[in-house]
Structure 1
Amino acid sequence: MQRFIAALLAVASCASIAHAQSSEPASTSPPLTLERALTLAGAAAPTLEAATAGVRAAEAGRTVAGYRPNPSIVAETENVAGSGQYRGVRSAETTAGLAFPIELGGKRSARIAVADAIGNRARIGSALAEADLRLAVTQLYIEATAAERRLVTAREQAGIAREALRAAGVRVQAGRASPLEQQRADVLRINAETAVERAQRLADVARDNLARRIGQPVTDALDMAWYDRVEGYGPAQPIAPAGTLALAAARADATTAEAQVRLARSQRIPDVTLSASARRLEATNDVAAVFGVSIPIPLFNNGRASVAQARAQSDQAQALRRAAELDTAQDIARAQVEVANAATSARNASGPALASATEAARIARIGYREGKFGQLDLLDAERTLSETRTAAIDALATYHDAKARLERLVAAAPSLEENDR
């Protein structure tokens, strides 16, 4: 009789586990892949809109920088509203003409160089925004898939806890165990069902966060095959920071600062304003030409302070560029090690360790039903299995996160074309 009950419990346990594993409703639609999520996020990201607007602003600034100074209309009337022969407008002299500012010292080309540098920096900023968005969406996708996997695991553990409670009840009724075992099993069942509720809430929040980022509800299944996949990762090869987005931004800042130095130097040279006018003498009704030239005197502001300021800012940008080279190289090397270690941990945790813990828990369940193992042995095996499953999920999440951060670090800078206008 006892063997029959044990066999019946074993069959019920297998059915319960199978039900827990398939508790998620099957979906006929394809899963929401990471690449699909990235595409949707790119179409709804305000950060990309801001970066694109920045590029447009820089292009407009490049056009403005190429304009030459506008001419001015000069008009004046002399010898009016005075006394004697200058009473009224009888002796008025009216002059009308144009004044043409002439830029000297290469100011226009210096402005264009600054505008070009700012435009290149804006395009790099747009690429940085895309890379940051890709990392953010990838991390949200990792969080959502890990939460889904934790929910499935929690449901499986809850199903196992319910079966353990039934087995304990049968043992108590048969007089083979004390009522304490049944009470202990009931506590474990309650804790397991509570864990399911917590995992469900976390999974819902993770899906909602991903939905906010991609701009639409996440109702389809997620790509669990991608989450479980650990790519082979051999010895890390050194990756030079040259050509990466992080270093390209620092170099663009240094280029902009150097262009500002050239602009400050060009502004030390005074501009010349030429004017050509026609003067009409009211008394004789004659007309005469008037030519003029205007040159400012750099008496109080000779531009040296502006050049010194621009040079100091350029030195600062160059120092930051060198610091960025060091930091980027260190960050890449550290990220490579993290990816390699995470890949090893994920393969071990989701492979041999998980298989051994699963087999040990299966043997403990059968032995407990047949009276060969005590309840403490069963609980220890189940706890080990639960911890191993959690470790495997965490290891996979750590691996994907480390890989995403490495890809962000080594993202290639866009090719920038110089403007020749």
Structure 2
Amino acid sequence: MNTISDVWPIWLGRSTVAAIMLAAISIESAGAQDAAATHINLSQTLRLALDNNPIIEAANAELRAIEAEARQVGLWDNPTLSADFEDFGGDRRAIGDADTTLSVRQTIPMGGDRARARDVTTAWAHAARADLAQTRSDLLASTAQAYIATFAASETYTVRLELLELANSSSAAILARVEAGRASPIERSRAEILVGLATIAARDAENAQRQARNRLYAIWSGIPVDVALESPLQSLDVINYRTAAPADWISNNPELVSLRAVTLARSQEIRRERAEAIPDLTVGAGWRRYGGTDESAFIATLEMPIPLLNRNQGGVAAAASRENGARFDEDASRRTLMARFAAAAGRLERARTTFSLLDENILPATQTALEGAQFAYREGALDVLNLLDIQRSYFDARINLISARAELASAAIELDALAGTPQLNQLAAPNSTEAAQ
């Protein structure tokens, strides 16, 4: 009867063979997919999001509705046509003996409240346009961030496949040394563990890539397509924020612009409420026929409420209070945005430093160490543990470089969004230089 110690190496060896076969299939399928994939850059992705995301159309529909309300609210009331028949029946014989009055009345807004109401609705239409700009900016920023995450996940998956291929090669070399009696049988187990862990990491990276792609696809259509993304740093400029004052940087932030528009609309509401305190004048003109004598005459009417009790005091006070609240909201948002700018600027600086160190120092050093370790191991001057440790350091450096590049691009997007996404808007333009490349 086999013991657990006897069965375990056999079972693990079989699983390693299966993992190597699956890994080979994954590498081949990944290469075939990349060859057949449609290459897409950040500029094209941004335009796809703008053209196919319903949130923009919903915001446009709301804007058109508010603009229509602005046209409607400024119109005067329709004139009133009235016909009065008095003193007929009873001692009089028929309706022909009645006194008949035909008149037309028109209400004239004396305080200009209709014009003020139109100004208010127009101001809210401007606020809706600012909301649309904010929605568009948020969509561009979220799309760019999803693009960056998807590109990083794809790169990570590629590196994990390379690591798996290297693990297979190293495992074969280790097994050959064991079979030749140049290494301890324990190293066989280490080789199997190496391949197993690399397979798990590759599978995890594949799932992460699939999830990131699905999130990106959902932004523009929800329909998965086979695409290969280009590096976002080919499109993005790492923003030089050092010479910019925080208040100037966020001056065109869509959220702040939207709150400014709300404050303006609240100011217009105060003027409208004050105009409504002035009573409207109703004038009328008509013709009257007296049934008893068959005589006729013209009539004129004039009507105006006396503003003794109701001068719209509460409406004016409420509008003034809401304007103050809007100003406080604007100031609070400005402070929050300045704090976000400081955090994003620090994030960008850290990402820039990390990326530079990894790209210029750490990765080249680990690559050189790996090449030397592989040669030394083949010559028998290095044991397997040190070889595996150096291999792990090299691939960890590559993974960290991918993360640092994604962090650098993400921080640049965040700063661009705080400034009103000027760079993303330029990339999303149909005639953008990056799209033509």
TM-score interval for Structure 1 and Structure 2 normalised by the shorter chain: 0.7 to 0.9
Q: Distance in 1 between matches of 2:374 and 2:201?
A: 21
1:93-112 aligned within 5 A: 93-112=99-118
Q: Distance in 2 between matches of 1:392 and 1:123?
A: 41
Aligned residue number for residue 166 of structure 1: 172
1:279 to 284, 288, 294: 288
SS in 2 for 1:31: strand
Shift of 1:152: 0.2
Is 1:32 the counterpart of 2:40? The answer is yes
1:387-406 aligned within 5 A: 387-406=396-415
Aligned residue number for residue 185 of structure 1: 191
Cα 1:300–1:80, aligned 2, differ >3 Å: closer, same or farther? farther
Cα 1:229–1:211, aligned 2, differ >3 Å: closer, same or farther? closer
Aligned residue number for residue 79 of structure 1: 87
1:245-293 per-position Cα deviation (integer Å, ceiling 9, x unaligned): 2321121111111000010111011111111122233333333222212
Q: Distance in 2 between matches of 1:296 and 1:28?
A: 79
**Is residue 142–residue 227 contact of structure 1 (8 Å, CA) maintained in 2?**
no
SS in 1 for 2:286: strand
The runs of 5 or more residues in structure 2 that have no matched partner are 1-22, 426-437
1:317-355 per-position Cα deviation (integer Å, ceiling 9, x unaligned): 112222233222332233222222212212222332112
Q: Which moved more, 1:346-355 or 1:152-161?
A: 346-355
Q: Distance in 1 between matches of 2:106 and 2:100?
A: 20
Is 1:222 the counterpart of 2:239? The answer is no
Q: Match for 2:129: what amino acid?
A: R
**Is residue 38–residue 134 contact of structure 1 (8 Å, CA) maintained in 2?**
yes
Is 1:338 the counterpart of 2:347? The answer is yes
Q: Distance in 1 between matches of 2:282 and 2:266?
A: 29
Q: Distance in 1 between matches of 2:356 and 2:29?
A: 24
**Is residue 261–residue 311 contact of structure 1 (8 Å, CA) maintained in 2?**
yes
Is 1:48 the counterpart of 2:56? The answer is yes
Percent of pairs with identical residues: 28
Cα 1:229–1:89, aligned 2, differ >3 Å: closer, same or farther? closer
Aligned residue number for residue 70 of structure 2: 62
Aligned residue number for residue 153 of structure 1: 159
Q: CA RMSD in A?
A: 2.7
**Is residue 217–residue 224 contact of structure 2 (8 Å, CA) maintained in 1?**
yes
**Is residue 208–residue 218 contact of structure 1 (8 Å, CA) maintained in 2?**
no
Is 1:293 the counterpart of 2:302? The answer is yes
Q: Distance in 1 between matches of 2:63 and 2:239?
A: 38
1:191-250 per-position Cα deviation (integer Å, ceiling 9, x unaligned): 2112222211221222222222222543232103x3578856667122313333232112
Q: Distance in 2 between matches of 1:79 and 1:362?
A: 116
Aligned residue number for residue 95 of structure 2: 89
Shift of 1:54: 2.6
Cα 1:275–1:392, aligned 2, differ >3 Å: closer, same or farther? same
More helix by share: 2
